[in-house]
Amino acid sequence: MGSFPEPPRRDRVRSIFSGRHPWKLELGRRTLLMGVLNLTPDSFYTASRCAGTDEALESAIRLQDAGADIVDVGGESTRPGSGGVSEEEETARVIPVIERLSRALSVPISVDTSKAGVARRALAAGAWMINDVSALTADPEMAEVAAGGGGPVVLMHMRGTPETMQAAPSYGDVVAEVGEFLSAAAAGARKAGIAREMIVIDPGIGFGKTTEHNLELLARLPELAALGYPVLVGPSRKSFIGKILGVEPPERLWGTAGAAAAAAMLGADIVRVHDPAEIGQVLAVVDRIREKMS
């Protein structure tokens, strides 16, 4: 039986900061929380859906007040089997909300999109971070937009597309293959002009992976953290938790807490969640334990 992976040491505080923007995120003092704001009618977790700008503003303020360090705004569902929406529709959902949030929130805004046109407009409207589930591969203009924006970029691994990703995903060594992909994606981002300190990597829990793949990625997260980039993990209420516990999304909070605790203990810098208040309490305890291990 293999030994339990040793978590990466947190003995150095790193910052994600751009002189063009007022925002600064400190990594290493504690695990940061990214709150999920869905502007879609078909997100897998019904309670996270927002209809209209006023409801989105109220939800975003609740996420911020509950402890979210970043609010991640998405206008296109990436749940398994989803077919996507047009750039025009995604823009119409996202931009008015980001314009409103940029005047109301005291935490930075991330835009969850793979479309360069949406990202460009979102940055102009007040977003700071781009969270791209395709790792800049879905749109040939996205790397240029991200580099020009000057803020952080999340590069996520996904096998296939949201519509096809869960059609019998297979890997030889899921951690090695995901790591190779993310390393290459980060190198491509740097070549496009995105600063190394602005790159965040995400193994893509639930995106073209089975339950066992997801568990392997979490268990061996130190190997991905060793690539040298901040790591974001998004386990919140996903199907692998449901398969382990036999429950639907509304009952997956405590399973999410377990996955988030493991991710933070094993090297995640940011955890993307629907429930920052509850998960924030879990991570506060995990972070204190990690302090004793470093």
Instruction: Give yes or no: 238 in active site.
Output: yes
Average confidence score pLDDT of the chain: 90
Query: 9 pLDDT exceeds 90?
Result: no
Q: Which value, to the nearest 10 degrees, does the dihedral of the CA atoms of residues 283, 286, 292, 294 take?
A: -70
Angle formed by the axes of helices 276-293 and 253-265, to 10°? Answer: 30
For residue 11, name the pLDDT band (cuts at 50, 70, 90): low
* Domains of the chain (ranges, CATH numbers): 31-293 (3.20.20.20)
Annotated catalytic, 272?
yes
Is residue 208 within 8 A of residue 179, CB to CB? The reply is: no
Tens digit of pLDDT for each residue in 243-281?
999 999 999 999 999 999 999 999 999 999 999 999 999
Q: What is the percent of the chain with per-residue pLDDT over 90, rounded to a whole number?
A: 75
Q: What is the mean pLDDT of residues 182-197?
A: 97
Q: What is the mean pLDDT of residues 173-182?
A: 97
**What are the E-state strand segments in 167-212?**
199-202
Nearest-angstrom CA–CA distance, 157 and 170:
14
Tell me what the mean pLDDT of segment 188-195 comes to: 97
For 8, 95, 96, 285, the CA distances from 122, given in Å and listed in that order, are 34, 6, 9, 35
Q: Residue 138: is its pLDDT beyond 70?
A: yes
Distance CA 47, CA 252 (A): 12
Task: Tell me the two tokens of residue 99.
Answer: 């314009």
Question: Can you give the pLDDT at residue 293?
Answer: 86
Q: Are 35 and 72 in contact (CB under 8 A)?
A: yes
Q: What is the C-alpha to C-alpha distance for residues 228 and 186, in angstroms, rounded to an integer?
A: 10
* Band (78; pLDDT cuts 50, 70, 90): confident
Rounded mean pLDDT of 115-142?
97
The one catalytic residue in 10, 238, 252, 290 is 238
For residue 166, the Cα-to-chain-centroid distance in whole angstroms is: 19
What per-residue confidence (pLDDT) applies to 6?
A: 60
- Helix ranges restricted to H, 41-141: 53-65, 87-104, 116-125
pLDDT given at position 247: 97
Q: Is 190 exposed, middle or buried (0-12, 13-18, 19+ CB in 10 A)?
A: middle
Interval 129-133 mean pLDDT? 97
Give CA–CA dist 16/27, Å, rounded: 8
Q: How confident is the model at residue 254, as a pLDDT?
A: 97
Q: Which range has highest mean pLDDT (159-163, 164-168, 179-183)?
A: 179-183
Q: Position 215: which residue type?
A: L
Q: Average pLDDT for residues 228-249, to the nearest whole number?
A: 96
Q: Which two tokens stand for residue 256?
A: 């999410």
196-213: per-residue pLDDT in tens? 999 999 999 999 999 999
Catalytic residue among 272, 288, 290, 292: 272
pTM: 0.91
What torsion, rounded to 10 degrees, do the Cα atoms 265, 267, 268, 269 define? Answer: 110
Per-residue pLDDT band for 159 (boundaries 50, 70, 90) equals: confident
Q: Which two tokens stand for residue 78?
A: 């990436």
Q: How confident is the model at residue 1 (pLDDT cuts 50, 70, 90)?
A: very low
